Amino acid sequence: MRKLITVNFLWLILLAFSTSFADDGGIQSLKQTGKAFASVAKKVSPSVVFIQAESVSDSIDSSHFGSPFNDELLKRFFGDGIFTLPKRHPSMPKKRTQSQGSGFVFSLDKGIFSDKAYVLTNNHVVENADKLKVTLLDGREVQAHVKAADPKSDIAVLELAVKDVPALKLGDSKNLEVGEWVVAIGNPFGLSHTLTVGVVSAKGRTSLGINDYEDFIQTDAAINPGNSGGPLVNLDGEVVGINTAIFSQSRGYMGVGFAIPINMARGIAEQLLANGSVKRGYLGVVIQTMTPELAASFGSNVSKGILIAQVSANSPAGKAGLLQGDVVTHFQGREVSETGDFRNRVSLTMPGSRAELKLVRNGVELTKMVTIGELDEHPQLAAQPKTLNNSFGFTVQTVTPMLAEQFNIETGTGVVVTAVQDGSLASLAGISVGTIILEVNRQPVKNVDEFKSLVNESGASGKVLMLVSKDGMSRFLVLQH
């Protein structure tokens, strides 16, 4: 009995000691984490700048209506309609307005500009500004000017009037992992050199409608108005992204922020410094994501990839032999599955270079080499899915010479949607008057009788694969009744 009491007593002592040791170890671990963040702040902060942009505005002073911030900046983060200001009467003098943001000093690894330091920031921070003032960590205020900018990617490069500012090291955003610690440093609400900490929540966020070209890093590190253009860094103090925007429905931080990957920003900055503008690659195709429904309709076992819905005549894709209905599975040796990612990768490929595409055509795997063209600067229309047919809540008409002229198509090419019932499957799918139906179940349609016949042949499945066109842009889609 005495031995049992002694053993139990020893176990209690060991348990208490191990618990105390574990608690102490946990505290030490937290202290080390805190020291790591403090080290990042010391390393990075001297290179982070506070940007104040001044420009002439036609709007009335928003401070008279209870807003302490520039209304365009708020719209950037919280969307249009946050508040509306009265329009300036032509007889009233124009007002000079100020906006603010962040940036950081960087330098290129090689090339003729590698011996100089510039500031990298968002274009929306400095756009239309005729006067820029930059404040450094040591309190110095220096003048800056826009060296070059690319609104489509929201990247701008500034040149400072001083050169004795340390440059941050640019990391490799490709190696960034979801769950990895990241630190955002900037000037939210004008509070200079504020540090916030979080993790990488996701990568490759596209189609958010923020920029024309998107491949965002999503993070829960707090990003607010004024953080735009500041660096998102890893625990080594290397820049992995440029803080750009937040998602919010409450006009405040909600744990969802977005940053432009530094690999994308670096490539654009190099072109801006070398050429003053960005040259983007061009294939000449209209694309859409390959869904399981589309794969089943095509009789294909390829459920991932990019479906080519349209190939422009005399385009790089057309000259390389790409066809409507091809499914691209790889670009330059890497798998593709999202339209936004594919579009970005093509656009960042230098015009004139050769690119390898792997694709599937009618169940057969093919490899095509394409000479990438150069995208012109005219606005590119984004193709939107549209939809179709009588039993689905719309009516069609054979294309007459008058309709062919109205819709700029050839007589005998497809049928045109003339009416769409509100709340119908067609309406919900996005069908509108003027949509042209070119094919049904991969068969060309020339008139209403052919259209009805092919739809009726869809059988018991009720699924109909259609090729439709609106405003010159074609899309495949599947309807089921």
* CATH classification at residue 245: 2.40.10.120
Higher-confidence position of 383 and 10 = 10
| More confident site: 466 or 26 | 466
Q: Which two tokens stand for residue 293?
A: 């429904």
Residue 19 lies in a domain: no
Report pLDDT for 416: 85
Q: Between 30 and 232, whose confidence is greater?
A: 232
**CB within 8 A of 405, min separation 6: which ones?**
none
Residue 60 gets the label, from left (phi > 0), alpha (psi -120 to 50) or beta, of beta
Among 345, 374, 403, give the residue marking a domain's end. Answer: 374
Q: Are 225 and 355 part of one and the same domain?
A: no
Q: Are 68 and 181 contained in the same domain?
A: yes
Domain-embedded: residue 358: yes
> Are residue 398 and residue 457 in the same domain, yes or no?
yes
Residue 31 vs residue 461, higher pLDDT: 31
Give yes or no: 89 in active site: no
Summarised one tens digit per residue, pLDDT across range 286-338 is 888 887 888 777 766 777 888 888 888 788 999 999 998 899 999 999 888 78
Predicted confidence at residue 231, as pLDDT, reads: 95
- 207-235 b/e with 16+ CB inside 10 Å = b? eeebbbbbbbbbbbbbbbbbbbbbbbbbe
On whether residue 385 sits in a domain, the answer given is no
Active-site hit among 150, 154, 215, 341? 154
Please tell me whether residues 214 and 342 are part of one structural domain.
no
Specify whether 252 is located in the same domain as 151.
yes
| pLDDT of res. 370 | 95
Helix (H, G, I), strand (E, B) or coil at 98: strand
Specify whether the CB–CB gap between 55 and 97 falls below 8 A.
yes
Do residues 328 and 360 share a domain? Answer: yes
**Does 117 share its domain with 198?**
yes
pLDDT of 250 > 80? The answer is no
Residue 7 lies in a domain: no
Examine the domain organization and report whether 266 and 292 are in the same domain: no
Question: pTM value?
Answer: 0.63
What's the residue count for the chain? 481
Q: What is the pLDDT of residue 83?
A: 43
298 plus 310 within the same structural domain: yes
Q: Of 120-134, 342-356, 385-399, which gets the smallest average pLDDT? A: 385-399
DSSP state of 381: P
Determine which one of 124, 173, 201, 326 is catalytic: 124
In this structure, the answer to whether residues 263 and 297 fall within a common structural domain is: no
Residue 312 lies in a domain: yes
The answer to whether residue 119 is domain-embedded is yes
Task: Enter the tokens of residue 130.
Answer: 């005729």
Q: Which residue has the tokens 């610690």?
A: 181
- Best-predicted range by mean pLDDT among 99-103, 211-215, 431-435? 99-103
186 contacts 227 by C-beta, under 8 angstroms: yes
**What CATH number is associated with residue 435?**
2.30.42.10
Which pLDDT tens digit goes with each residue over 368-395? 999 999 887 543 323 333 333 456 778 8
Residue 255 has which token pair? 């744990």
Residues 314, 448, single domain; the answer is no
Cα radius of gyration (the chain) = 28
Same domain, 269 and 286: no
Query: Would you list the DSSP string of 102-164?
Result: EEEEE--SSSTTTTS-EEEEEHHHHTT-SEEEEE-TTS-EEEEEEEEEETTTTEEEEEES---
Q: What is the 3-state secondary structure (H, E, C) of 133-146?
A: EEECCCCCEEEEEE
For this structure, is 330 an active site residue?
no
**Hey, how many other C-beta atoms are within 10 angstroms of the C-beta on 16?**
10
Number of folded domains that form the chain? 3
Tell me what the mean pLDDT of segment 415-428 comes to.
76
Q: Rounded to whole angstroms, how far apart are CA atoms 212 and 48?
A: 26
437 is a domain residue: yes
Pick from 124, 55, 135, 127: which is nearest to 95 by CA? 55
Query: Range of 467's domain?
Result: 390-480
Q: Is the pLDDT of residue 462 over 90?
A: no
Higher pLDDT, 205 or 183: 183
Q: How far apart are CA 300 and CA 422, in angstroms?
A: 34
- Under the banding of pLDDT at 50, 70 and 90, the label for residue 94 is low
Average pLDDT, the chain: 78
Q: Is residue 89 part of a domain?
A: no
Q: For residue 49, which of 193, 195, 261 has the smallest C-alpha distance?
A: 193
228 a catalytic residue: yes
Are 49 and 143 in contact by the 8 Å Cβ rule? The answer is: no
Which of 278, 307, 340 terminates a domain? The answer is 278
- Out of 47, 228, 458, 474, which one is annotated catalytic? 228
Q: Which of 52-56, 88-92, 186-190, 448-452 has the lowest mean pLDDT?
A: 88-92
